[in-house]
Amino acid sequence: MAWQAAPFARFHLNSFVMAVGITGGQLLFSSLAAYAFARLRFPGRDILFLVFLGTMMVPFHVTLIPSYLAVRWLGWLDSYQALIVPWLVSAFGIFLLRQYYFTIPTELDEAALIDGCSRLGVWWRIILPLSQPALAALAIFAFLFAWNDFLWPLVVTNNPEMHTIQLGLAMFQGRYGTQWTYLMAGTVMATIPGILAFLLGQRRFIEGITLTGLKG
């Protein structure tokens, strides 16, 4: 069996930890940043937001070496920190949530502030519960990106114990060459979590994509 021919259990565990960590981080930090860009007034807000958008046009390969050097300097090679921390913030996630926050009436914020709620409380008690469709859409994007990522884990992990499922399949293919039945079985197992993630959040995902950008 393919499960016994290679340590797929460990590969799946590493991918799961990486995907859940990145997804949770992006939901937290992107929602906070998007709330600041959508609701708070501070000098240079629009310019700073344009800078964030500009980073989306920078190819990943341009930042690959500086990111690797930073991870190596911190001593994080072959660790979950190296796999997760560089992707905790997403410019796309900030943009997606900011556009959705514009569809939420500001009167709700004002009423909560009058009642004595803090800005952080408004974000937690009002904005997040009303943003479930957009959060679900971002969660699916982040999870699938992390689960299917190949290049970054290849760069920052040398120990097979820290390899993700995508690296495991590549090693498996090189090691077992012509045993395509095992390789295809491993590939099917690797696609199941992504399919489940989409099916579980499908309704919220479609709703979030539909409503995002109605107001800018």
Q: For the beta carbon of residue 101, count every other beta carbon within 10 angstroms.
A: 23
pLDDT digits (tens, 9 = 90+) for 82-122: 999 999 999 999 999 998 898 888 898 999 999 888 999 99
Contacts 24+ apart (CB under 8 A), 12-16: 12/165, 12/189, 12/190, 12/193, 14/80, 14/83, 14/162, 14/163, 14/164, 14/165, 15/146, 15/147, 15/164, 15/165, 15/166, 15/190, 15/193, 16/193
Q: Is residue 98 part of a domain?
A: yes
Q: Across all residues in the chain, what is the average pLDDT?
A: 84
For residue 63, what are the domain limits? 22-159+203-211
Q: Is residue 191 part of a domain?
A: no
pLDDT digits (tens, 9 = 90+) for 1-27: 555 556 778 888 999 999 999 999 999
More confident residue, 204 or 113: 113
- CATH code assigned at 115: 1.10.3720.10
pLDDT digits (tens, 9 = 90+) for 164-175: 988 887 776 655
Tokens (6 digits) for 64: 């690959």
Flag the least confident range among 9-18, 110-119, 130-139, 177-186.
177-186
Number of structural domains in the chain: 1
Q: Is residue 113 part of a domain?
A: yes
pTM for this entry: 0.85
* Sign of the C-alpha dihedral computed for residues 180, 182, 187 and 192 taken in this order: positive
- What's the pLDDT score for residue 195? 75
Q: Is residue 58 part of a domain?
A: yes
Give CA separation, 205 vs 18, 87, 133, 151, 198, in Å.
21, 21, 6, 27, 8
Flag the least confident range among 88-97, 146-155, 195-204.
195-204
More confident residue, 28 or 214: 28
Q: Is residue 169 part of a domain?
A: no
66 vs 201: CA distance, rounded Å: 35
Q: Is residue 165 part of a domain?
A: no
Q: Is residue 196 part of a domain?
A: no
Q: Is residue 134 part of a domain?
A: yes
